[in-house]
Amino acid sequence: MRDLAASYGAGLPGRDTHSLMHGLDGITLTFMPMGQRDGAYDPEHRVILINSQVRPERQRFTLAHEISHALLLGDDDLLSDLHDEYEGDRLEQVIETLCNVGAAALLMPAELIDDLLTRFGPTGRALAELARRADVSATSALYALAERTPSSVIYAVCAVTRQDDESEGAGGGKELTVRASSASAGVKYSLSVGTPVPDDHPAALALDTRLPLAQDSYVPFRSGRRMPAYVDAFPERQRVLVSFALPAVRSEGDPDRPEAAGVAS
């Protein structure tokens, strides 16, 4: 699916909305309110529908996702293999996953990611640049960047959230928490969504000062355990994009478990 989408993308004149549709002969694009749905592809009427009421970057990824549906339906060999291997709900789940893979390959080609990794390294800045240049959400960029990163790195998108304080019966204070996380190949774990980032952590300091910060620090797992890492934090608006470069992956266990090796308290 990645190769199929990449091959399609290589023949496009650009990556804007009009150009993305350039290779789909006879298929039209319509923006309209769609309630809770982001989009759909109707092969019978040969039309791609996109929800006009969601954020532009979400519309863009959805368009690439629906284009991937059209590409998949047009590849008899791949479609046949899928139907031979899966059925029912599982088939639908696999197809949706593959179309997300196709969307990422279409919007964030390997050459772009490799160029950013060469220029900026596996950093929060590289994550920010990928999201900006591909015009996708930081979360979408995070997974694509992690997949192409050759070294042992955990990426995270962190933002300030309000915490409920039940003891006071009202909204509590605010804290920086993980919104999304993914790791490069070979790293067996990532940060759980909702993991709090301590106030004295470089990621929190970068957001407070609005200045990029890179230094030796740690990965702040939810359990309170800390794994040594070189942290690169890049603040952007109300969030901070972070990379945790690990010196070595010494255990395949869960670092939140007491028996995991290589974790400093």
Contact partners, residue 160, CB within 8 Å, separation at least 6: 174, 175, 176, 177, 207, 238, 239
Sheet holding 39-42, edge to edge: 28-32, 47-51, 39-42
**Mean pLDDT of all residues in 100-110:** 94
pLDDT digits (tens, 9 = 90+) for 139-161: 999 999 999 999 999 999 999 98
Within its chain, how far is the Cα of 78 from the centroid?
A: 25
Q: Which of 66, 129, 147, 236 is catalytic?
A: 66
pTM surpassing 0.85? no
The model's confidence at residue 172, banded by pLDDT at 50, 70 and 90, is low
HSE-CB of 230 using CA atoms within 13 angstroms: 11
Residue 66 annotated in active site: yes
Q: SS3 sequence, the chain?
A: CHHHHHHHHHCCCCCCHHHHCCCCCCCEEEEECCCCCCEEEECCCCEEEEECCCCHHHHHHHHHHHHHHHHHHCCHHHHHHHHHHCCHHHHHHHHHHHHHHHHHHHHCCHHHHHHHHHHHCCCHHHHHHHHHHHCCCHHHHHHHHHHHCCCCEEEEEEEEEEEEECCCCEEEEEEEEEEEEEECCCCCCCCCCCCECCCCCHHHHHHHHCCCEEEEEEEECCCCCEEEEEEEEEEECCEEEEEEECCCCCCCCCCCCCCCCCCEC
d(CA 257, CA 29): 49
Question: Which position has the token pair 């199929």?
Answer: 4
pLDDT at 29: 97
The Cα 69–Cα 207 span in angstroms is 39
pLDDT at residue 163 in the model:
67
The pLDDT of residue 250 is 44
Confidence of residue 262 (pLDDT cuts 50, 70, 90): very low
| 237-261 residue pLDDT tens | 889 999 999 986 444 444 443 333 3
- Which amino acid is it at 83? H
- With bands split at pLDDT 50, 70 and 90, how would you rate the model's confidence at 169? very low
Q: Tokens 């996702």 appear where?
A: 65
pLDDT averaged over every residue in the chain: 89
* pLDDT score, position 145: 96
